[in-house]
Amino acid sequence: MKLSTFLGDRPFWRTTVRIALPVIIQNLLTSSFALIDTLMVSRLGDAALSSVGMAGQWVFVMNMCIIGLTGGMSMFASQYFGIGDYKGIRRAYGITLLSGLLLMLAFFLPAALQPRGIIGIFNQEAQILEIGSRYMRIACWSYPATMLSLIMSSLLRSIEKVQLPMYTSAVTTVLNVVFNYGLIFGRLGMPKLGVEGAALATCISAWAGPVILFTLSLLEKNLIATDLKGLFAFRWRNVVKYYKKTLPVLVNSGTWAIGTMIVNTVFSNMGSEYYAAVTILRTFGDLCFACYLGFGNAAIVLVGQDVGAGRIARAKESAIRYTTLVLLASLIEGVLLAIFRRQLISVFNTSGELSAVTHATAMAIILFYGLEQPLRNIPYIHIDGVFRSGGDTVTGAIFDAICLWLVSLPVAFLAARVWKLPFVTVFILAYLCEDILKGILCFWHFLSWKWLRPVTEEGKRGLAEYNAGKGK
């Protein structure tokens, strides 16, 4: 078998770089957004860092639910784009916007009305409750903007308009740096507001995102700026078809996010110093994950277009290549993260604000996280990239539910509450119990090729012809 079968040829790389590189850059910028928040808030001490991290878990669940919607939309958009069905893309976009609005309100209203109650889910320390609720009460006004940006960016990537989200993220990241610096510490002529300043900076930079995306889309006259008549020109049967494929993705993302939040609740209730270490890890973990998001989006576009157009052999070939690339990237990135973890943590501790417990815990869990990268990222590219682009939105949801809810979460709870194990041990068990089993299940399903389930008539005919040619 040729090496190009696994690593790709020139046309594959030309398309992948064109799609993946702007997405990687965009997600690096988006992750830098969170990194800047975390870095500047860390100057306020462990309690502030931990509080903002806990508030971030609420918006994390919201984001994952919306990403579930966009995952379903991207599957339709990429397959429709492969056959030039722009009306179908507009219908999927309109349904996603209305669904995203309802989802966002389900998170915005509790955060605006009862922020103390939400922070209390994670930790009952008085200082944490007070700081976290002050932050969330303001930061929740960024939720509508975040929802719009996620949906718009996802649609643009699905139709190969990958540069607009990248440019927008560059602008919003710069705005976030400027307003964080000014509003947290009282610089650049702005008031000194502490954690409230960080929340306000998040709102300002977040709202800049959809404004810029829509303005540029109007100038470019792409599908984002479509007229309302075309956007909402869908019938009940279109909604049923949309949710038949999208609902499993939404349930998958939502239940996984809620399960992850519960695991983080176990972590946070073991002590705010430990959770400050987890917040540091998540910040660097998100930066590392930008690479895999790029490959995942490229897989959605490339594999999805081929499946939608009935080019099944090409779709399978691309799926193999993206699996190989993610494996190699995980090995390299994981080793680098483990080697340079001390230097990375020192960025958060330039003035000695972090406690010795937080520093030591961060050292241990970043080492483990780096070495575990391949186990965690192969299931990601399969579930969120390959399976969904092929039209299979159900199997990944089942795998996530089994591995997180039936294995990882019970083990983490028992290890922390019953067995009273050290924090680092609890953290390692929670991750390994989810990722080992999920990796095995995903590889098994990937090699079965049963994830090839086109939603277009062209794709269905192509799959039937391909199977007939293989004697299936």
* Residue-level pLDDT, tens digit, the chain, 472 residues: 565 556 666 777 777 777 777 777 777 776 666 666 667 776 777 777 777 877 888 888 898 889 888 878 887 887 788 778 888 888 888 889 999 999 999 999 999 999 999 988 877 888 888 888 999 999 999 999 999 999 998 888 888 787 888 889 889 888 988 998 899 889 989 999 988 998 999 899 999 999 999 998 888 888 777 776 767 777 778 888 888 888 888 887 888 888 888 888 888 888 878 888 888 888 777 777 777 777 777 777 788 888 988 999 989 988 998 899 889 989 998 898 889 988 888 877 656 667 888 889 999 999 999 999 889 999 989 998 899 888 888 898 899 889 999 999 999 999 999 999 999 999 999 999 999 999 999 999 999 999 999 988 888 999 999 888 765 5
pLDDT at site 372: 92
pLDDT at site 402: 93
Q: Is residue 70 within 8 Å of residue 203, measured between CB atoms?
A: no
Rounded to whole angstroms, how far apart are CA atoms 302 and 152?
A: 19
Q: What six digits make up the tokens of 302?
A: 């490339």
Sign of dihedral through CA atoms 22, 85, 97, 263? negative
Rounded to whole angstroms, how far apart are CA atoms 179 and 198?
A: 8
Q: Is residue 95 within 8 Å of residue 49, measured between CB atoms?
A: no
Q: What six digits make up the tokens of 470?
A: 């293989």
Q: Is residue 296 within 8 Å of residue 385, measured between CB atoms?
A: yes
Rounded to whole angstroms, how far apart are CA atoms 61 and 63?
A: 5
Q: Which residues pair with 115 in a beta bridge?
A: none
Listed residue (25, 13, 11) closest to 325, CA to CA? 13
Rounded to whole angstroms, how far apart are CA atoms 107 and 160?
A: 31
pLDDT at site 449: 92
Rounded to whole angstroms, how far apart are CA atoms 424 and 48?
A: 22
pLDDT at site 9: 66
Q: Is residue 75 within 8 Å of residue 300, measured between CB atoms?
A: yes
pLDDT at site 34: 63
Burial (0-12, 13-18, 19+ Cβ within 10 Å), 54: buried
Q: Is residue 427 classed as helix, strand or coil in its secondary structure?
A: helix
Q: Which residues pair with 452 in a beta bridge?
A: 391
Give the C-alpha distances (Å, rounded to integers) separating 250 from 61, 110, 390: 11, 20, 17
Q: What six digits make up the tokens of 97?
A: 């916007």
pLDDT at site 82: 74
Q: What six digits make up the tokens of 231?
A: 């956007």
**Whose structure tokens read 């005919």?**
461
Rounded to whole angstroms, how far apart are CA atoms 465 and 472?
A: 10
Q: Which long-range contacts (CB under 8 A, 24 or more apart) does 137-140 make?
A: 137/111, 137/112, 137/199, 138/196, 138/199, 138/200, 138/203, 139/55, 139/59, 139/111, 139/198, 139/199, 139/202, 139/203, 140/107, 140/108, 140/111, 140/112, 140/115
Q: What six digits make up the tokens of 183?
A: 């509003």
Burial 289-315 (b: 16+ CB within 10 A, else e): bbbbbbbbbbbbbbbbbbbbbbbbebb
Rounded to whole angstroms, how far apart are CA atoms 116 and 107?
A: 14
Burial (0-12, 13-18, 19+ Cβ within 10 Å), 421: middle
- Tell how far CA 251 is from the center of its chain: 15
Q: Is residue 386 within 8 Å of residue 320, measured between CB atoms?
A: no
Listed in sequence order, the DSSP H helices in 372-454 are 373-380, 388-389, 395-401, 409-413, 423-448
pLDDT at site 79: 77
Rounded to whole angstroms, how far apart are CA atoms 320 and 375?
A: 17
Q: What six digits make up the tokens of 373?
A: 């990268």
Q: Is residue 69 within 8 Å of residue 93, measured between CB atoms?
A: no
Burial 123-145 (b: 16+ CB within 10 A, else e): bebeebbebbbbbbbbbbbbbbb
